[in-house]
Amino acid sequence: MKKILSTIILLTVTLFAFNSQTYMNNNYCDKIIKNPYFQVCYDYKLMGARTITYTLNANKVNEVNIKKRPSFHTEKSLDRAYRVSPKSYSKTGYDRGHMANDASFDWSMKSLNSTYTMANIVPQHPKVNRYQWIKVERYARMVARKLGTLNIVNIIQYSHNPKRLKKQNIAIPKGFYKILFNKEKNFERCFYYKNTSSRYDKKDKLKKHLIECSLIQPNLLF
């Protein structure tokens, strides 16, 4: 991981200035959920998030590292008709995938608990959640410690007619974009992960998922 970090982080010339507000506004989102730690662009028809943004701070990332994990809970700021229950994922073959990941917010019980709202959770194949996505989350924390702060934008990609979990008709994502940027340090990196059930490749590397940030366009997310 350290070798990957040094290889990627030193390439600091940015050709594409990512604008997170393109994916976090009232035209793109049915409801924007805000808490002190992250923001969620929520879609009522999809019964899930389209975008989740937050900022990592170097002095917080490894401050406490609380080990005990709380329980998942419904998002009470949503109308009841659009609240997802943690039980809706049971026996579906999909993980409850964090977009604002718990390991980046385990410096207080309040911040940690906030990541267990179901508004922050989307269906992820176990292979992606447990072996691939976790690597880019770890990488983001390493970059945050090096740069001081790091902005994160997670964009969830859906097909035009997505498959759904039977309970509550929750849309299953097609894939996930993770954008990391710090404008002051002229740093920007973009990654893409397919939400696929194909066999896990132990040789899967971060650089395999690197993409040009300019490829991320709103019209390609459905």
- Which residue of the set 73, 98, 160, 209 is catalytic? 98
CA dihedral 192→196→200→201, nearest 10 degrees, is -40
First to last CA, the chain: 32
Q: Which residues contact residue 81 at a Cβ distance below 8 angstroms, ignoring those fewer than 6 apart?
A: none
State the sign of the Cα–Cα–Cα–Cα dihedral 140, 180, 213, 36.
positive
Q: Which residue has the tokens 């002095």?
A: 59
CA angle 107, 33, 126 (to 5 degrees): 65
Instruction: Answer yes or no: 98 catalytic.
Output: yes
Determine whether the annotation assigns residue 129 to a binding site: yes
**Secondary structure (DSSP) of 63-106:** S---------B--TTS-GGGPPPGGGGTTSS-EEEESS-GGGST
Binding-site positions for Mg(2+): 129
Binding-site positions: 129
| Active site members | 98
